[in-house]
């Protein structure tokens, strides 16, 4: 499988604010034609034992689709959230972000800054931490809506940030045509996904095109207008609605 289509940033009922069991998520996202799911349940109810149980449960629920275990870590102030996959340990909730990123990376983890606009998270990171991240969410479905983050347009694309897109899935209306295309070598399994993420063999896409193209102004202002005019039957809004309904399970 040269390219695997992955839904990224997905919460299950293992998160305090999620209510989708892993098997139900697997079924629904398989119907959306994803090959894999980059899970990101919240750190705050986890410890080492629960992390082991969760990884096993992800394996059991991987039926026709691969559920890749991961954690969304928050700092103690709950102002910066970092998604981590592929680390060989659970680091505990509420760690300072710089420490979390260092420890995750030292243990083979891949780190992505989630929703950088939320509480101005982007500005709270020091430069070395920012530079050591594997990715930044240019588009988070939950916080940014049906257009990419204005921050991605004005700031992120002018810096050396690697784009990521995330559903931040908690509920049905957050199904949306955002996907990470992963360059997986050999069999699609947890290890080959981690390898692709570590080597940055991935591309963030929206509606099937690279998000780096979508953030160019004309397309973007179209999407913004569609977002504003959602209720008014705007042509682009209708197109977005049709695309979304096509992929919904
Ligand atoms: Zn978050
Ligand atoms: Zn989240």
Report residue 64: phi and psi, to 5°: 75, 5
Return the CATH number at 195: 3.20.20.140
Report if residue 43 sits inside a domain. Answer: yes
- Give me the residue label for tokens 């050396």: 160
Report if residue 46 sits inside a domain. Answer: yes
Q: How many helices (H) and strands (E) does the chain have?
A: 11, 12
Report if residue 224 sits inside a domain. Answer: no
Number of domains in the chain: 1
Residue 217: count of CB within 10 angstroms of its CB:
9
* Dist CA 141 CA 175 (whole Å): 8
Report if residue 242 sits inside a domain. Answer: no
Query: How many Å lie between the centroid of ligand 2 and the Cα of residue 233?
Result: 30
82 alpha carbon, closest ligand: 1
Residue 236: count of CB within 10 angstroms of its CB:
17
Query: How many Å lie between the centroid of ligand 2 and the Cα of residue 121?
Result: 14
- Give me the residue label for tokens 């063999």: 201
- Which two structure tokens, joined as six digits, stand for 2? 């040269």
11 alpha carbon, closest ligand: 2
In the chain, % helix, strand, coil (3-state, to 5) comes to: 45, 25, 35
Q: How far is CA 170 from CA 39, 173, 215, 245, in A?
A: 11, 9, 25, 17
Q: What single-letter DSSP state applies at residue 75?
A: B
Question: pLDDT at position 100, please?
Answer: 98
DSSP track, 74-111: EBTTS--EEEEES-SS---TB--HHHHHHHHHHTT-EE
Query: How many Å lie between the centroid of ligand 1 and the Cα of residue 165?
Result: 13
Query: How many Å lie between the centroid of ligand 1 and the Cα of residue 9?
Result: 9
Q: How far is CA 98 from CA 17, 88, 94, 121, 124, in A?
A: 25, 18, 12, 12, 10
pLDDT mean values, one per 10 residues, the chain (249 residues): 90 97 97 96 96 98 97 97 96 96 97 94 91 94 87 79 94 91 96 97 92 76 67 67 76
Question: pLDDT at position 230, please?
Answer: 62
Query: Strand 178-183 vs strand 202-206: parallel, antiparallel, or unpaired?
Result: antiparallel
Report if residue 228 sits inside a domain. Answer: no
Query: How many Å lie between the centroid of ligand 1 and the Cα of residue 36?
Result: 20
Query: Strand 135-140 vs strand 110-113: parallel, antiparallel, or unpaired?
Result: parallel
Domain that residue 129 falls in: 3-212
Question: pLDDT at position 193, please?
Answer: 98
Q: Among candidates 181, 220, 223, which has minimal Cα distance to 204?
A: 181
Question: pLDDT at position 217, please?
Answer: 63
117 alpha carbon, closest ligand: 1
Query: How many Å lie between the centroid of ligand 1 and the Cα of residue 80?
Result: 8
Report if residue 59 sits inside a domain. Answer: yes
Q: Among candidates 84, 85, 86, which has minimal Cα distance to 95?
A: 84
Query: How many Å lie between the centroid of ligand 1 and the Cα of residue 233?
Result: 31
Q: Among candidates 142, 205, 196, which has minimal Cα distance to 168?
A: 142
* Dist CA 149 CA 137 (whole Å): 8
Query: How many Å lie between the centroid of ligand 1 and the Cα of residue 186?
Result: 32
Report if residue 245 sits inside a domain. Answer: no
Query: How many Å lie between the centroid of ligand 1 and the Cα of residue 11?
Result: 10
Handedness of CA 78, 160, 67, 169 (dihedral sign): positive
Contact 234, 12 (CB under 8 A): no
Report if residue 248 sits inside a domain. Answer: no
Query: How many Å lie between the centroid of ligand 1 and the Cα of residue 115?
Result: 7
Question: pLDDT at position 233, please?
Answer: 60
């Amino acid at each position: 499988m040269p390219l695997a289509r992955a839904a990224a940033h997905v919460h299950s009922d293992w998160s305090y604010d999620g209510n989708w069991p892993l098997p139900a998520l697997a079924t629904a996202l398989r119907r959306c034609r994803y090959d894999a799911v980059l899970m990101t349940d919240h750190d705050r109810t986890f410890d080492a034992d629960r992390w082991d149980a969760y990884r096993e449960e992800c394996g059991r629920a991987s039926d026709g689709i691969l559920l890749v275990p991961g954690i969304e870590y928050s700092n103690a102030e709950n102002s910066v959230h970092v998604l981590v996959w592929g680390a060989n340990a659970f680091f505990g909730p509420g760690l300072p972000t710089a420490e979390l990123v260092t420890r995750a990376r030292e243990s083979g983890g891949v780190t992505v800054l989630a929703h950088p606009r939320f509480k101005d998270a982007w500005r709270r990171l020091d430069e070395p931490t920012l530079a050591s991240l594997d990715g930044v969410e240019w588009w988070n479905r939950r916080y940014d809506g049906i257009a990419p983050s204005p921050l991605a347009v004005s700031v992120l694309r002018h810096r050396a940030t690697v784009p990521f897109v995330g559903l931040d899935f908690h509920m049905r209306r957050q199904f949306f045509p955002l996907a990470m295309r992963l360059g997986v070598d050999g069999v699609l399994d947890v290890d080959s996904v981690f390898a692709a993420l570590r080597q940055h063999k991935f591309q963030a896409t929206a509606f099937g095109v690279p998000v780096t193209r979508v953030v160019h102004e004309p397309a973007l202002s179209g999407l913004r207008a569609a977002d504003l005019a959602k209720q008014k039957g705007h042509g682009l809004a209708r197109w977005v609605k049709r695309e979304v309904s096509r992929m919904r399970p």
